[in-house]
Amino acid sequence: MSFLGSLWSSLSELAGHKLRSFLTLAGIILGTITLVVMTSLVDGVTGEVAAGFADLGFDGVFYVSEQPPRSAYETARFAGSEGLRPEDADFAAAHAETLSDFAPAHQETITVKANGRTASVRVNGVTPSYARVRNRFPAEGRFISDSDLRLFARTAVIGFRLKRRLFGSEPAIGNRVDVGGISMTVVGVGRDLTHQFFDDDELIREMEGCTVPLTTMERCLLGRRPLSFVAVKTNDPENLEGARREIDRLFTLAHRGVGDFRVQNIAEEILRARAETSTMINNWRIVLSSVAGISLLVGGIGLMSVMLISIGERTYEIGLRKAIGASNGEIFLQFLTESVSLALAGSAVGIAIGCGINVAVGRFFKSGLPVQPRGILSALALSILLGVAFGTSPALREENPRLAVQ
């Protein structure tokens, strides 16, 4: 009998015992579902979390902020310092070796009004370098420019949520907003930083906030005062400790030896959080893979049991085929093909159900939950392996019908 003949015979046997075939394949079906869904789900969560970390904008970033005096001596010593100033960032940028950008910023909670709606939000006064340091390029329009700084321009970039709150579905670019009593033109709208599995208060405040030129904030809203912080980005993310030491050295020089500032290594905290999250996701992967493996193993054992029963029931057929000239190899191929066909049928059902689950669950992910080809290929490969591994022994027993009956 040819391979196609063996395949047709095995499919006929499956069709003739539908319930038994389905119950036999339950383990393979469940294992395949777990494998397909697990691959897509873990990859989807991994991508969503990675996007969340990227949108935080803290990769390779340090914050330099004010250090309150901790003793009477420091109080007296700090009195001679003007605190953090934009000039400190300029000085550090001119003498930096491994640091790429410096973004001085003011940060204050201010009332913003537009279209008869009012919101008390966090307003950042920044320079154009802030977009590079924190990856804050807007989704619509443009960011604060150098000319905005020079001209003390009354321009604003509003957050994604603030735009919806003040303007709804109407366009915001070119419209006016009242920021602390100062009318400003909206030149940009920030990106949607919402993530299903990455909920962060900082991102929410940014989406609900507003950004204006640093010089405009100083002249029109706050007056001359120390900066809230200076955000610094390093060129060498592999040497964060060296970058921290360089920042400390540069700002100490800028403040003439007065250490009235502190350096927060946010980049290292993000790396630590990434590593912890990666470990947790890998643990999920191991657990789900174990569940899929156990289900497939149970399905393989069930497959072997059914093949033994099937061969025992077909002893007469085996003897008849041998009597008309069928070789042991041909009969072995028939039953091995039947075993592999059973496994592939279960895998196909599992893949179909798994793909349906992915489509249903995908709506909870920002970028959807596409079916991963490697999950499907792994399921098919494992099914063939199961069919061969658990079908070989029963197929070999056909050489001795009396043994098969036993």
> How many Å apart are CA 250 and CA 81, to the nearest integer?
15
Helix (H, G, I), strand (E, B) or coil at 183: strand
- Look up residue 305 and give its amino acid: S
Least trusted range by pLDDT, from 1-15, 119-133, 258-272: 1-15
**The two structure tokens encoding residue 310:** 């099937």
Is 226:68 a contact under the CB 8 Å cutoff?
A: no
Q: Give the ranges where 234-327 is alpha helix by DSSP (H).
A: 240-254, 266-313, 315-323
Dump pLDDT digits (tens) for 21-43.
Answer: 666 777 788 888 888 888 888 88
Residues in contact with 374: Cβ distance below 8 Å, sequence separation at least 6, in sequence order = 39
Q: In this structure, how many other beta carbons lie within 10 angstroms of the beta carbon of residue 71?
A: 8
Q: 168 in helix, strand or coil? A: coil
Q: The pTM is what?
A: 0.74
From start to end of 59-167, where are the E strands?
61-66, 99-114, 117-126, 140-141, 155-158
- Are 35 and 378 in contact by the 8 Å Cβ rule? The answer is yes
Task: Give the C-alpha separation, 18 to 330, whole Å.
Answer: 25
Model pLDDT, residue 406: 43
Q: In a 10 Å sphere around its CB, with 0-12 CB exposed, 13-18 middle and 19+ buried, how is residue 181 labelled?
A: exposed
383-399: pLDDT as tens digits: 888 878 777 766 666 55
The gap from C-alpha 335 to its chain's centroid, in whole angstroms, comes to 45
Least confident of 66-80, 161-175, 237-251, 291-305: 66-80
